[in-house]
Amino acid sequence: MTDSTSGPAAAVGRRPGKRERLVAAATQLLHQQGIERTTLADIANAADVPAGNVYYYFKTKDDVVAAVIEAHAQQIKTTLASIDAHHRSPKSRLKAFVREFTAQSEIVAQYGCPLGGLCSELGKRVKQSSFTEAELMRLPIAWAEQQFRSLGRRDAHDLALDLLAAYEGSALLANTLRDPSVLSGSARRINHWIDTL
């Protein structure tokens, strides 16, 4: 990958490469402003990259959006792998997953769920999209289904859908009401539900 920050240079605190900075800036701006209101110039400015350099990495805004989706997917995989590595039982893994929700409650209350908002916005686009935004929801659903299945639940898929629906609904309400406590209250109820399984 061009301008990669992996390896020894990254270990000593080297500034992330231009492409990485552009993707990070785009991820933040798409969450805060949405796809339609975010321009390539906005992204370049936020990434501290000359506007003309953006086209070296991304030909269109759709290319940037695809990179943001991939970055989100990679973050989900990394988070789920970390949960798997640090928690032994399915219930403790599911509860750690719920803690991930509440860890970003202030940001969610201000801007909405980064994944849910992006998926919703992409789903409303008039033109046909080649994006695999549904994968952003399928990854945690499949992981949660595996946890519920490990608990011996034959309705594991339905439970996984319920878990994600509970979070996304709470995220929408927290954002609409600008109240992060909606997420923390929902997390308590979800944890209690997990305990009853």
DSSP string of 102-135, one letter each residue: HHTHHHHHHH--HHHHHHHHHHT-SS-----THH
In the structure encoding, which two tokens stand for residue 85, read together?
């590595």
Render each residue's pLDDT in the chain as its tens digit; 197 residues: 333 334 444 445 677 899 999 999 999 999 999 999 999 999 999 999 999 999 999 999 999 999 999 999 999 999 999 999 999 999 999 999 999 988 999 999 999 999 999 999 888 875 655 567 788 999 999 999 999 999 999 999 999 999 999 999 999 999 999 999 999 999 999 999 999 99
Fold (CATH) for 69-196: Tetracycline Repressor; domain 2 (1.10.357)
Angle at 107 between CA 5 and CA 165, to 5 degrees: 105
Question: Token match 């993707």: residue?
Answer: 23
Token pair listed for 20: 């990485």
Per-residue pLDDT of 128-147, as tens digits, reads: 555 677 889 999 999 999 99
3-state helix, strand, coil in the chain (%, to 5): 75, 0, 25
| Tens-digit pLDDT profile for residues 5-32 | 344 444 456 778 999 999 999 999 999 9
Tokens describing residue 103 = 């860890």
- What pLDDT was estimated at residue 10? 45
DSSP-derived secondary structure letter, 51:
G
Give the span between the Cα atoms of 83 and 78, in whole angstroms: 9
Q: What is the pTM of this model?
A: 0.87
Domain ranges of the chain: 14-59, 69-196
Q: Which CATH superfamily does the domain covering 14-59 fall into?
A: Homeodomain-like (1.10.10.60)
**Is 183:170 a contact under the CB 8 Å cutoff?**
yes
